Structure 1
Amino acid sequence: MIYGFMIGNIFLLVLGQMFWKLSVEDVKQWDVDAFTTVFTSPFFWFGGFTYAIATVCWLYVLSKMPLSVAYPFQSISYVFGAILAVVIFKETVTAQHWLGILVIILGVFLISR
């Protein structure tokens, strides 16, 4: 069950980042109008809401698992973030970047054993 909360936390963190990216996509220059646009965007508020829920999940995880084990699992969010950046935002991720992500996965695997 604890790993379900961990995965839920990671999913919500990535989802929150996707919402925040959507809330700033049209910002070309940061000025008062940009801040108004961002802070009135539903994506901004959805991102904050998902982060609030993620924090509740994270607090539960911390109550059941050592920080030295739980915290490295958060890096799995980089994996999902990169995948969604390619799929949703059509960003380019280099081979070196993918290699780094593979190292992250390996590190989490080693810590979880």
Structure 2
Amino acid sequence: MKGALVYLLVSIACAVVGQVLLKQGMRVAGPVTLSLYGLPHLILQLATNPWVVVGMSLYLGGSLFWLTALSRLDLSLAYPFAGLNYVLILLASYFVFGEALNPTRIAGALLIALGVSLIARSA
């Protein structure tokens, strides 16, 4: 069980770091508009953006750890842990990008963390 939790936590870490890198990549790329006409250019722009490439790679790697965790844990235990992504992304957004934290966001993150801790105790 402990090994499976390690896979789960690595999966969460990959997702959080991947999201931070993807956000940085999109800050570099600028606002994107989806259109059929501009799709080839957008794909090329994103495929040559190192932040996006590494972020997507972490997402893929994290998915492999997630699948490994799922093969060893109950879904009803593993999936709520994914809620930690929201808490960690909130913190990363604040510290890395200087995004605002307000009482509502903080309260929501605390409720998520409380819920995950309650579910973890049932393991």
TM, length-normalised to structure 2: 0.85
Q: Deviations over 1:19-53 (max 9, x none)?
A: 11011114135263972433320111101110111
C-alpha distance in 1 between matches for 2:32 and 2:64: 34
Indicate the percent of aligned positions where both proteins have the same amino acid.
Answer: 28
Amino acid at match of 1:67: L
C-alpha distance in 2 between matches for 1:28 and 1:61: 36
What do you get for the CA RMSD once the two structures are aligned? 1.6
Decide which structure has the larger Cα Rg and report it: 2
Q: Could you say which residue in structure 2 is the equivalent of 1:59?
A: 67
Give 2:51's match in structure 1, choosing from 40, 43, 52.
Answer: 43
What stretches of structure 2 of length at least 5 have no aligned partner? none
CA displacement at 1:93 relative to structure 2: 1.4
TM, length-normalised to structure 1: 0.92
Q: Could you say which residue in structure 2 is the equivalent of 1:21?
A: 23
**How many aligned positions are there?**
113
Amino acid at match of 2:61: I
Check the 8 A contact 2:16/2:85 in 1, yes or no. Answer: yes
Q: Could you say which residue in structure 2 is the equivalent of 1:82?
A: 90
C-alpha distance in 2 between matches for 1:29 and 1:19: 16
Q: Which runs of 4+ in 1 moved over 2 A?
A: 28-34, 36-39
What stretches of structure 1 of length at least 5 have no aligned partner? none
